[in-house]
């Protein structure tokens, strides 16, 4: 018995020492910043938020940036900031994306250093009132569009031994209530990233995933108000459906008001995600995953790793006020 206890004790200490030394090594080993000047980098979703912040940073480091934008104003802003090209398109338009990718390959002479899939959309709502078309739109923008653009640019990334950065979310590791289409799209992009990373490792193309928690951007700050879109759509499609007993209009108003207030308190500066995206492009050894923001490194890391029954209880508690329960 004594020998068993002693061996177990030594084993525990050995494991602790191993992780401590590994952490120290990771902290101390040199991870120099590369010179990005003259390197071609494509960034999507550059009209606002993380995208425009990353464009400004990369231009500051001398990179040749191609800023994919959704609007004319976004494209004009990116060009004014110094982007080499600013194709204006809807990333779900396959023809337009094909043409823009060909333009990029020509401009960079098939030597593309970076591809940042940053564009994204969110259409929140609880599953009982979430229209199917919302799942289709979110999957098209957040999942299929990056898959398509990557495929078009792989030859240029291979020849430059470049980097692909996929902006996922904490929702890509922990699925949260009230946001199923977005969660599904971000889980899908995580699965895609894992396969892509292994396949492209033969050509030394690295693939990094960014998991930001809530930060102050247009997408995040209008999140709870966004529930109204799904609710109103379901109200038009099925005005007298049983869904409305659980999720009535007065519940929706309270839900949006209370949670928007909480959101204002927790949202962080977007620079946390911007720093990590730029690190993935510009460090000599990029990380495979970046948990960006305080909540990502704490609450969401814990929710990701803890037993599922515990995380279920916490997620249930996040639906405040709770839906109205019927008598059945």
Ligand X SMILES: NC(=O)c1ccc[n+]([C@@H]2O[C@H](COP(=O)([O-])OP(=O)(O)OC[C@H]3O[C@@H](n4cnc5c(N)ncnc54)[C@H](OP(=O)(O)O)[C@@H]3O)[C@@H](O)[C@H]2O)c1
d(CA 148, CA 171): 22
Of the residues 39, 41, 43, 51, which one makes contact with ligand X according to CB under 6 A: 51
Q: Do strands 40-43 and 112-117 pair parallel, antiparallel, or not at all (unpaired)? A: parallel
SS3 letters for 116-155?
A: EECCCCCCCECHHHCCHHHHHHHHHHHHHHHHHHHHHHHH
Is 129 a known active-site residue?
no
Q: Is 38 in the site for ligand X (CB under 6 A)?
A: no
87 CB burial (10 A radius; 0-12, 13-18, 19+): buried
Of the residues 104, 154, 167, 278, which one makes contact with ligand X according to CB under 6 A: 167
Q: Is 259 in the site for ligand X (CB under 6 A)?
A: no
d(CA 74, CA 63): 19
Q: Is 70 in the site for ligand X (CB under 6 A)?
A: yes
Q: Which is nearer to ligand X, 119 or 278 (CB)?
A: 119
Q: Is 49 in the site for ligand X (CB under 6 A)?
A: yes
d(CA 257, CA 300): 24
Q: Which is nearer to ligand X, 120 or 247 (CB)?
A: 120
d(CA 44, CA 32): 26
Q: Is 123 in the site for ligand X (CB under 6 A)?
A: no
Q: Which is nearer to ligand X, 212 or 286 (CB)?
A: 212
- Nearest residue to ligand X by CB is 49
Nearest-approach distance from CB 158 to ligand X, in angstroms: 24
Nearest-approach distance from CB 219 to ligand X, in angstroms: 3
Q: Is 269 in the site for ligand X (CB under 6 A)?
A: no
Q: Which is nearer to ligand X, 181 or 247 (CB)?
A: 181
Q: Is 72 in the site for ligand X (CB under 6 A)?
A: no
Count interface residues toward ligand X (CB under 6 A): 26
d(CA 151, CA 136): 21
Q: Is 141 in the site for ligand X (CB under 6 A)?
A: yes
**Displacement of CA 133 from its chain's centroid (Å):** 21
**Among the options 129, 135, 182, 290, which is catalytic?**
182
Nearest-approach distance from CB 162 to ligand X, in angstroms: 20
Binders of ligand X among 198-217, rule CB under 6 A?
A: 212, 214-215, 217
The set of long-range contacts for 269-275, using a CB threshold of 8 Å and a minimum separation of 24, is: 269/215, 269/216, 270/49, 270/50, 270/53, 270/215, 270/216, 270/217, 271/53, 272/212, 272/215, 273/50, 273/167, 273/210, 273/212, 273/215, 274/50, 274/53, 274/54, 274/57
Stretch that binds ligand X, among 75-83, 119-127, 229-237, 297-305 (CB under 6 A): 119-127
Q: Is 220 in the site for ligand X (CB under 6 A)?
A: yes
Q: Is 169 in the site for ligand X (CB under 6 A)?
A: yes
Angle CA(46)–CA(52)–CA(56) in degrees, nearest 5? 130
Q: Is 56 in the site for ligand X (CB under 6 A)?
A: no
Which residues contribute to the site for ligand X (CB under 6 A)?
45, 47-51, 70-71, 74, 90-92, 118-121, 141, 167, 169, 212, 214-215, 217-220
Q: Which residues are catalytic?
A: 182
């Amino acid at each position: 018995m004594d020998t068993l206890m002693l061996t177990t004790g030594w084993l525990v200490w050995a494991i602790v020492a191993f992780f401590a030394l590994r952490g120290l090594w990771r902290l101390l080993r040199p991870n120099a910043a590369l010179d990005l000047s003259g390197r071609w980098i494509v960034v999507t979703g550059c009209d606002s938020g993380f995208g425009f912040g990353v464009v400004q940073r990369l231009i500051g480091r001398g990179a040749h940036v191609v800023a994919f934008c959704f609007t004319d104003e976004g494209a004009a802003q990116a060009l004014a900031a110094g982007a080499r090209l600013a194709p204006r398109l809807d990333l779900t338009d396959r023809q337009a994306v094909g043409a823009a990718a060909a333009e990029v390959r020509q401009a960079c002479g098939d030597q593309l250093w970076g591809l940042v899939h940053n564009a994204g959309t969110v259409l929140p709502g609880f599953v009982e009132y979430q229209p199917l078309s919302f799942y289709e739109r979110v999957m098209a923008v957040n999942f299929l569009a990056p898959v398509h653009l990557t495929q078009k640019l792989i030859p240029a990334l291979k020849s430059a031994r470049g980097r692909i950065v996929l902006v996922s979310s904490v929702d890509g590791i922990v699925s949260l209530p009230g946001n199923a289409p977005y969660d599904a799209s971000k889980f899908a992009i995580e699965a895609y990233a894992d396969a892509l990373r292994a396949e492209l490792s033969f050509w030394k193309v690295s693939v990094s995933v960014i998991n930001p928690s809530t930060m102050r951007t247009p997408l995040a700050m209008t999140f709870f108000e966004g529930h109204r879109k799904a609710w109103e759509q379901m109200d038009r499609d099925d005005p007298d459906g049983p869904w409305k007993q659980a999720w009535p209009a007065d519940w929706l108003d309270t839900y949006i008001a209370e949670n928007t207030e909480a959101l204002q308190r927790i949202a962080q500066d977007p620079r946390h995600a911007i720093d990590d995206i730029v690190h993935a492009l510009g460090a000599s050894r990029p990380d495979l995953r970046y948990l960006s923001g305080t909540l990502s490194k704490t609450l969401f890391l814990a929710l990701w790793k803890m037993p599922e029954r515990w995380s279920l209880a916490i997620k249930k508690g996040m639906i405040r006020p709770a839906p109205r329960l019927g008598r059945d």
